[in-house]
Chains A and B, each alone.
Chain A
Amino acid sequence: MAKFYSIAIMHDYAFVLCIEEKNKKFTIVETEELDFIELQKYVKNKKQLFITIEQKFEYSTNLAVPLAIAKSNNINNYLFYKIKELYPNTDLLLNFKKISKQNDEENITYNVEAIDEKAYLEALSFVNDFSNIKSATTNKFALLSLANRCLDSNSYICVYTYANTVLILAVEDKEMIFSRLITIDAVTPESMQMDIAENITQTISYVNNQFREIDFQLLAISGSIALDDVVPQHIMMFSDINISILYPNTFIKNLDAEESQKYILALGSMFVEKNNQFFPKIIKGIKQFNLITTVVLFFTLFSLLGMAYFSFNESNRYNDLVDKNEMLQQRYLYESSHTKMLPEKELENYEYTIDLTNKYLDKVPTDMLIAIKPLMILDKPSLFKYKVDAGKVIFEMEFEKKFTELVALYKFEKEFNKKLEEITKKTDIEKTTTVDYKQLIYRAQIKTKKNEKLNSRKRRR
């Protein structure tokens, strides 16, 4: 729920509304009527300020700008110097908008609103931090904005009165085409009423004469005049125009009809369009600076969060590595303390023994003997000849086994042949087996091949 403040300044008085917005519905939270000097204290530390100010100097005109000037900055400068010629001693603050109806082939006509920047800034001086100003304008634009919001008519005349001040606007297609601020100097209340009625009637006549092509369908009255019967009756007597009271009852809650007239300008300041707002360069600069610092703040904040995330990951990784390091160190220290470092002399002795063993036992065919061991377990050989010749093994074995039962012979034959097959696959030997089933004798002969001697394998250490 957004909370903001609408402030209208009239005759050194400030009318303040504290408003809450929810789903485009506005609820008045608080109303204040303050002296201008109290305002500074009131708005301190308050954000979202919508301000409308009474300005004595307001100049409005239509100016034609050559088509050749196209860029917004150049148009602004052109208009500024045109008006500056008229008011050379005034610091001007401009607002301009294109008038589509009055264009020709060579020029584009702009409606220009100028105010005294110095006086305007002075009026805004109650605000400590300009970046809190959401909208700032003059009273006639606040009135126009509220009237446009409340009225369905496209062309109308709008009147606002407060004390001895009368503000009159003529509006066509929701755009202000005429404005007049009148200050009445009257002695008695009765003469004040008469003067106000007379001035309004005269202005209506002037507007009707000045803008004959426009049919002003409505006179919308607001402010003190809306609570008065005499002045509207007088106006009705002299003008053939429907009179209506400006009352924002459809979208404002918690503000009664009579009280709302006091805060008409404050309410209007909420709805002022951007091109009807006046922002001096210093305020624009502060707002831009504020915007930039906000963007930079968010950027740095997100970057910081990102870096914090990376740091967190790095920290976790570092902790994991430290843990692993400690674990590896412990394992290393354990291995280090459990591993005996042999003296160099002892190692040399081992090395010498290994070298000599490799040299002299290299030719001993242990692999071959291991290979034929399964056969020797089954039966002791009847003949075993063995010779090492230049590192190569030459051997011959004979097996002869006599049985008393055929089944024993059969089983032995199966097992012996199976073992023999396995050995033949691994080593290059000749084999001959014979079985005498009459005598129940199993015979086998294995030997190295005639032309090829079985190579002994090198011992590996």
Chain B
Amino acid sequence: MIKIILIIANVILMLFLYFLNQWYENEDSKIIAINKKYITNTRKLKEIEQIDKWLAEKVKPNLVQIPSNSEVADLHLIHFFDKYANNYNFSVEKFIYNDEYARFLNIKFSFSRKNYTKLVNFMKLQYKGGYKIIDHFKLDKNILEGELIVIQPFLLPKKKKEETINDVVPQ
């Protein structure tokens, strides 16, 4: 009788352990899936952190400013010309024209290369709210002369993708 009781107890314990193992396996699968999600999301968060850092360091200082209308955009370009015209002997090469998103002003420049500070300042010169591109230049022993294009963004380009920050941040 004791043996029968022991057998029954063993069988009950075996069943209990079987279901316990099943439960463990199910829970393991769930936890593994959650852990994978945590790893993926943590990696995404780190990427977002890096992107944020890059945006703050590299993009934020150069954020473009969209003027309210084309006249304001033109005035921004003209103000830039006037501001540095004397320093670098600016002359208009091609007056304001535009493409799909921006307005442009081509400016000729010419100044002595002997004034090193002036030369460095010219190279560092930035057009706030837009871009300054040196189209061509010639540097000889005495003079630096050439042409630069000042670009004032004017219209927002159409959005290409609809993905938002919510798509990559775990909820």
Contact = CB atoms under 8 A, between A and B. Distances in A.
Interface of A: 290, 293-294, 296-297, 300-301, 303-304, 307-308, 310-311, 314-315, 317-318, 321-322, 324-325, 328-329, 331-332, 335-336, 338-342, 344, 347-357, 359-361, 363-364, 381-388
Interface string B1-36: 001101100110110011011001101100110110
Contacts of A340: 49, 52
B55 to A, nearest CB: 5
Nearest to A397: B139
Given A314-B25, A328-B39, A342-B52, A350 B45 contact: no
Contacts of A350: 55, 59-60, 63
Nearest to B22: A314
Interface in B52-70: 52, 55, 59-60, 62-64, 66
Given A328-B39, A332-B45, A361 B52 contact: no
B62 A353 contact: yes
Contact of B10 (A297, A347, A364): A297
Q: Which 6 A-B pairs have the closest CB atoms?
A: A300-B10, A387-B136, A384-B139, A328-B38, A314-B24, A335-B45
Contacts of A332: 38, 41-42, 45, 170
A385 B101 CA distance: 31
B137 interface: yes
Contacts of B42: 328, 331-332, 335
Contacts of A297: 3, 6-7, 10
B145 to A, nearest CB: 10
B102 A321 contact: no
A383 B64 CA distance: 35
B18 to A, nearest CB: 7
Given A303-B14, A317-B28, A325-B34, A386 B165 contact: no
B133 A360 contact: yes
Contacts of B101: 356, 359
Interface of B: 3-4, 6-7, 10-11, 13-14, 17-18, 20-21, 24-25, 27-28, 31-32, 34-35, 38-39, 41-42, 45-46, 48-49, 52, 55, 59-60, 62-64, 66, 101-102, 131, 133-141, 146, 151, 153, 156-157, 159, 164-165, 169-170
Contact of A339 (B13, B49, B137): B49
B135 A352 contact: no
Contacts of B41: 332
Contacts of A328: 35, 38-39, 42
27 contacts: A293-B4, A300-B11, A300-B14, A301-B10, A307-B18, A310-B21, A314-B21, A318-B31, A321-B28, A328-B39, A332-B41, A336-B45, A336-B170, A339-B45, A344-B165, A352-B157, A353-B64, A355-B157, A356-B64, A356-B101, A356-B131, A356-B153, A361-B131, A363-B133, A384-B137, A384-B139, A388-B134
A351 B137 CA distance: 32
Given A352-B156, A361-B131, A386-B134, A317 B24 contact: yes
Given A339-B49, A350-B60, A357-B131, 15 more contacts: A293-B3, A300-B6, A307-B21, A314-B24, A321-B28, A325-B38, A329-B38, A339-B46, A350-B55, A356-B101, A357-B62, A382-B141, A383-B139, A387-B136, A388-B136
B4 A386 contact: no
Contacts of A318: 24, 27-28, 31
A325 B35 contact: yes
B157 A308 contact: no
A356 B157 contact: yes
A311 B24 contact: yes
Nearest to B134: A386
Contacts of B52: 339-340, 342
Contacts of B24: 311, 314-315, 317-318
A309 B163 CA distance: 50
B49 A338 contact: yes
Contacts of B159: 348, 351
A304 B10 contact: yes
A363 B135 CA distance: 10
A293 B28 contact: no
A361 B133 contact: yes
Contacts of A348: 159
Contacts of B14: 300, 303-304, 307
Given A329-B38, A356-B64, A384 B138 contact: yes
Contacts of A353: 59, 62-64
B135 A387 contact: yes
